[in-house]
Amino acid sequence: MARKPRGRPRVLTVRSARYLSPNMIRVTFAGPELEGFPPNHEGANCKLVLPRDGESREAFEAHFKPDGSEERVHPVRTYTVRAFRAEGLELDIDFVAHGDDGPATRWAQQAKEGSFLGFRGPSQPKITEFYADWYLIAADLSALPVAEATLEAMPRDAKGTAIFEVPSKEDIRELRMPEGIEARWLVQPDVHQPSTAQQDFVRSMDWPEGVVQTCIAGESSVIRALRDHLHNERKVPKKDAYISGYWKIGLVEDEHQQMKREEAA
C-alpha cells in the first residue's frame, strides 16, 4: 500500500484561471492558506496534490487529517512557483495544456474560482546568484515558468540569449527580461516527437568570452544533448549551469523521476 507523505499540505483555493496562450494556463490561488509563504521563491519547485475526479473539498481535506487514511490516493505532480504576491496573498502557477491527458492538465483545464488542490513546498529557487558575463536560457513550454522567473530576477544590465521552444506561433508572447537578453522562439508543433531545434541553435551560436551561466530545462533527451554539448564542448563548469530534465516523451512523471534516480545512481 502506498503511504501518503507526512504533514498536511496547504489546501489552496483558485481565484482565477486564464489562458496566457493556446497551450498555457495561468491559475491564480488566493486566501489565508498562503500566510507565511516564503518571499522570493519564484522559479522554485512545488508539489501539487490533485483531488480525484468529483472529490469534494471536505473529503479531500479529511484525507490529510491525523486520523485520515494512510493510503496515498491522490496524484502528485511537480510544478514551478511562477509568482507570489504577499500583499494580496496570491500565488500564480502556470500549466501546460497541449492535449496531455494527465491529471494536472485535466485539473487546470477545468479550474475555476473556488476549485482547490493541495500544495507542498516550495523548494529553493534554482538560481540565487547572478555573476556571469553572459547568460544562456533555454526552455520548452514546460520550463517556461522557471525561465521567466530567472529572467525577471536577473540584473537589469545582464546580457545573453534566451531560447524558447513552443508548439505554435500563438504561444509566442512578450516576456519581461533585461534589454541585453536576445529572445529567440523556435516552433515545434508536435511536442511528443524528439526535437533537435534547441541543440542545433546552441551549436550554431558564436560563443562569448567570459563566465557563462545557464538556466536550461525541458524534455530529457533535449536536456541530455545540451548538457553534453555545454560541459564537453563549450566547457561550461557544472557550478555555473542549471540544466534539468523536467519530463520525458512517453513517460508519466513518476516513471521519469524513477529514470532520473537510476541514472544518478
Q: What is the CATH number of the domain that holds 200?
A: 3.40.50.80
Residue 205 has pLDDT above 60, yes or no: yes
Round to whole Å and give the CA distance between 242 and 67.
41
Residue type, 28: T
* Inside any domain, residue 249: yes
The DSSP code sequence of 18-68 is EEEETTEEEEEEESGGGTTPPSS-TT-EEEEEPPPTT--HHHHHHHTSTTS
* Inside any domain, residue 129: no
* Inside any domain, residue 1: no
Do 79 and 147 belong to one domain?
A: no
Round to whole Å and give the CA distance between 257 and 246.
9
Do 142 and 239 belong to one domain?
A: yes
In angstroms and rounded to an integer, the radius of gyration of the C-alpha atoms of the chain is: 19
Do 111 and 160 belong to one domain?
A: no
For range 173-180, the mean pLDDT: 98
Do 221 and 198 belong to one domain?
A: yes
Do 109 and 165 belong to one domain?
A: no
Least confident of 95-109, 166-180, 189-203, 219-233: 95-109
pLDDT at 148: 98
Among 68, 95, 120, the domain-final residue is 120
Do 254 and 147 belong to one domain?
A: yes
Do 113 and 167 belong to one domain?
A: no
- For the four alpha carbons of 43, 125, 119 and 244, in that order, the dihedral sign comes to positive
pLDDT tens digits, one per residue of 17-69: 999 999 999 999 999 999 999 999 999 999 999 999 999 999 999 998 887 77
Residue 162 has pLDDT above 80, yes or no: yes
Backbone φ and ψ for 94, nearest 5 degrees, come out as: -100, 135
Do 254 and 186 belong to one domain?
A: yes
pLDDT at 68: 74
Query: Quick count: other Cβ atoms within 10 Å of Cβ 136?
Result: 26
Question: What percent of the chain is modeled with pLDDT above 90?
Answer: 83
The SS3 of residue 189 is coil
Domain that holds residue 252: 134-264
* Inside any domain, residue 214: yes
Do 151 and 231 belong to one domain?
A: yes
Whether 145 contacts 94, CB under 8 Å:
yes
Backbone φ and ψ for 253, nearest 5 degrees, come out as: -60, -45
* Inside any domain, residue 128: no
Among 93, 120, 147, the domain-final residue is 120
* Inside any domain, residue 5: no
Do 79 and 142 belong to one domain?
A: no
Cα 216 to the center of its chain, rounded Å: 11
Do 88 and 160 belong to one domain?
A: no
Among 71, 92, 120, the domain-final residue is 120
* Inside any domain, residue 232: yes
Angle at 10 between CA 144 and CA 8, to 5 degrees: 125
Query: Quick count: other Cβ atoms within 10 Å of Cβ 73?
Result: 10
pLDDT tens digits, one per residue of 61-103: 999 888 777 667 899 999 999 999 999 999 999 999 976 678 9
Do 161 and 259 belong to one domain?
A: yes
* Inside any domain, residue 254: yes
Where do we find the cell 515545434?
188
Q: What is the pTM of this model?
A: 0.92
What's the number of domains the chain is made of?
2
Q: Say which CATH number the domain at 49 has.
A: 2.40.30.10
